[in-house]
Amino acid sequence: MKLLPFLLLLASPVLAAENRDAIFQKSIEAMFPKLVEIRRDIHMHPELPNEEVRTSKLVADRLKELGFTDIKTGVAKHGVVALLKGANDSPCVAVRADMDALPIKELRSTPYRSRNPGVMHACGHDVHTTCALGVAELLSKHKDLVNGSVKFLFQPAEEAMPATFKGDWGAKLMVAEGVMENPKPAAVFGLHTTATVQPAGVTDDAVHYLKAGQIGYTPGIDNANSDRFHIIIHGKMAHGSAPHKGVDAIAVAAEAVMALQMIKSRQTNTRQPLVISIGTIQGGDRENIIADKVELGGTVRTYDAKFRDGVIEQMHRILKGITEAHGASYEMEYRKTYPSIHNDLKLVEDTLPAFRRVVGEKNVIQLIPGMGGEDFSFFAQVVPGFYFRLGVANEEKGIIHGGHTPMYDCDEEAIKTGVAAMAAAVCDFLDRAAK
């Protein structure tokens, strides 16, 4: 047995973890220039969902450079799965990182801005991937301090929102292809970069930043069931001078749009979070023709599964009533997409000490649940999961913009925090699970 791990075993659990953190931190500082290089490479070459060919190759090649031999590629099209065996083969824990980008034109003028026109890492997946590669490198250097195995899940297509309204999300496909088996992890961790947050207990509308070096978390519900719907209103075409001879699909659709908002304000329990948003509306051919068809597209966001089903029923009732009243008809395709993420309460409680050791207690901040959606939930439906926020804001550098915007960026110092926090969480979990 090597002397250092032996001495760590003789120490108290808290002291042993602190000693390991110090060893990790020294390695992270040495790794940091390479991690920045990797992050910028990925950021400059963003790829849309299900097109992550270059990114997945970069990931697989880097894992091979680090000495990984158990690597699977082509998972859920472009996913990569790798297994690291530490001092013991079991227990096992998983680390997930998404790799895809968004169809957004980057507006920041940085040396590493996107080279792919109209495509940008506006949600921080370049940082997620870099942090996971950093954890992989760190733990591969210190296998004797890893009390089990770590399965790395580099996921494609988290942002998959195809125009055809079909297809599945990367996490769901990865689970279907068996990534949560052989070996089955006992828990799964994921992180997401963020610049702006709403801390728990704060009710004002001011902008609050989660800075580089800070970590945010929510126990229990983290975000929403995020669903998509597509509605077609069928009317009857007529000349614009004689609307009485037709059925105006645009007028019917306008009434439907307003009525659907009544579900939140007047027809459901006000204590239940609900957002119904119409994001697209298309209809009509010419100014002087009464349209015979209008298409609507939007999202529904809820926390509770039973409440969600009730909202769907109310949408059908409203659409049926309005269209029948005007002699029109409707079709609605409603697709349940991301389930809500439920952070395992025990896993959160057990992990927070690791975060506090890494960044200090004042920099670990509880947040309120959000109404966004994230397909990490598919992994967390299989085993207990913890999805936390990695602060990336830096007001002095102008890094203050929210995700899915053309000005989004990351203070790269946050990469150190992401690697250190994830490594500490993973190793602490394996220590507990091995007892």
Active site residues: 338, 412
**Residue 104 one-letter amino acid:** I
Pairing assessment for the beta strands 79-85 and 71-75 based on DSSP bridges: antiparallel
Helix (H) or strand (E) holding 74: strand 71-75
Give the Å distances, CA to CA, from 104 to 101, 141, 168: 9, 37, 21
Residue type, 54: R
- Does residue 390 sit in helix, strand or coil? strand
Alpha carbons 20 and 147: distance in angstroms, whole number: 12
Instruction: Tell me how far apart the alpha carbons of residues 243 and 250 are, in angstroms, rounded to a whole number.
Output: 11
**Spatial separation of the C-alpha atoms in residues 287 and 239, rounded to whole Å:** 10
Token representation of residue 371? 């109404």
CB 80 within 8 A of CB 94: no
In sequence order, the β-bridge partners of residue 238 are 290
Phi, psi of 433 (to 5 degrees): -70, -25
* Cβ proximity of 393 and 197 under 8 Å: no
Per the CB < 8 A criterion, the answer to whether 45 and 116 are in contact is yes
Decide the pairing of beta strands 274-283 and 293-302. antiparallel
Triad 307, 313, 315: Cα angle to 5°: 105
Residue 426 near residue 187, CB atoms below 8 Å: no
Across 254-318, the runs of DSSP E, i.e. the strands, are 274-283, 289-290, 293-302
